[in-house]
Structure formats: structure tokens, C-alpha cells
Amino acid sequence: MILKVTPKVIILVGPGTNCDEETLFSLRYLGAEPYVYLLREIKKNPKKIHDFGAIVIPGGFSYGDYVAAGRMFAREMELFLGKELERFLKKGGFILGICNGFQILVSSLLLPGLKEWFLPPRVSLISNDSMQYEDRWVFLRVEKKDVFWFKGLPSVIELPVAHAEGKFFAPKTTIQALKRNKQIALRYVMPDGTYAKYPYNPNGSLEGIAAITDKTGQILGMMPHPERFFFSEQNPLRDSIYPWGRKIFANLIKEIKRI
């Protein structure tokens, strides 16, 4: 049963975040009640996160990516919010990490979450094979259609990427475990959905992995930016296609109403 309630979403940001306004607009446009909070504000009252149905960590360059992309933000989040985040997830909450947010989720070990959150094995998002910042539209094959995030999406969608450290890297054993658990959510592909090399795989990600979930499906980390494809006119490839980024956010809001 879907209740007629306004879903509340917290957008968690820090120094260097720069996609919060687009994320705020997207959620508000779809009828959610989003709030932007600095990580340092939430550190003072970690229980505040339980007022929300979902946490979104948007893209950018938190703390300038000076140590590694997302590493400092992730460490603070793990130390000061770790216990409350586990409680939040056990109560049925959701977490979406986009680009830098994905980097934060893997650095904190919330992902891959093969067995439990904040525990190994570790996956990484490292420097692009091209050794340069990649800002382009990509084609993505939806691998995990049984999870709410991607309901109603076709087999191949388009979204933009913009990152310098987006190559998904993990030991073979970890990738095999992700496959067994069906945690690989999106892969970079050619327009026809087949295996892609650069530039269609913009960063050299192993097996073209562009997004993963934890074992429960409550956490999604993705390098592509759904907030940058919210209107059809934003897509330079095909201006008549449905904006798939909007659909991902709409699916999240619909799912929050169920909990």
C-alpha cells in the first residue's frame, strides 16, 4: 500500500559538494520534501537522520578530493554517523550516492555491503584510465531490474558522467560475489547494449561497472548523474527520449512512501 505522505529526504553535503542544488530541485519537483544539511551539522545530532526516509549524497569534490575522492567525507561519516546509519538502514531507509557520493559510499564501506555494512571486502573508484577528467554522455545497461530504483526503465538508458576518479576496481573474488548477489546495477555499454571500450566506457571500469547496490538493495551508488537528465531537452543524443534520471528519483520517492 502506498500512503499519501510527503517523503522527506536529506541531502548530505560538505565542503566541495556542487550538485546539491540540482538534486534539491529534482526531489522537490517530484513532490518530495528535501533538506540540505552539512555533514558537520548532522555530526552534532546524528539521530536527526531518522526524521527522513532517504539520504542522498550528491556529486562534487568533497574536501577537494585532496586525499582521495570522497575519502575524508567518508571517514567523518563512518566515525560520527556509523551506528545511526546502521539503525537507519535496518529500519528500512535508503541511501543514494551519486558520483562523489558513490566514492564516499565505497570509501566508508557502506558499499559493497556483501554481508554487513562497514565491513570488508573493499571496492574502489580510482583514476580514469585516460588520466583525465571525463565529462560525456554514456549508455548504460540496466543489470538489476528487480530492484525498485530501476523499475520502468528500458534495458539501455543514457546518462551523463563527469569525474576524474570513476574506474570501478575490485579483486576478482569480490566481483564474482557481486555477480552472485546480483548487486551490479548498471554497466557502461555500446548503444546496442554490448561490451564497451573507451570512450563508451569512460573510465576503464572493470567489466564496465557503473553502479552497484548493497546486498539489500537499499543503498545505490552510481557514477552517472541522474539529476543532470531530468528533462528530455537536456539530452544531446536524443531530445525526444524520456529523462531516465527523473525516473530513478521518482522510483525512490515512491518507495519511501511504502515504508
Residue 1, pLDDT score: 42
Low-confidence ranges of the chain (pLDDT < 70): 1-4, 239-240, 259
Q: Which of 158, 163, 225, 255 is catalytic?
A: 225
Task: Based on the residue annotation, tell me whether 99 is a catalytic residue of this protein.
Answer: yes
Residue 35, pLDDT score: 97
Instruction: Please give the grid coordinates belonging to residue 223.
Output: 557514477
Question: Residue 119: is it exposed, middle or buried by C-beta count within 10 angstroms (0-12/13-18/19+)?
Answer: exposed
For the chain, how long is the longest CA-to-CA vector?
Answer: 49
Taking alpha carbons only, the member of 220, 195, 199, 221 closest to residue 208 is 195
Q: Which of 22, 143, 158, 227 is catalytic?
A: 227
Residue 65, pLDDT score: 77
Residue 4, pLDDT score: 60
Structural domains of the chain in order of their starting residue, each with its CATH number: 8-256 (3.40.50.880)
pLDDT in tens, 58-81: 999 998 877 777 889 999 999 999
Task: Based on the residue annotation, tell me whether 225 is a catalytic residue of this protein.
Answer: yes
Q: Which of 76, 99, 134, 143 is catalytic?
A: 99
pTM of the entire predicted model: 0.95
Residue 258, pLDDT score: 83
Task: Based on the residue annotation, tell me whether 227 is a catalytic residue of this protein.
Answer: yes
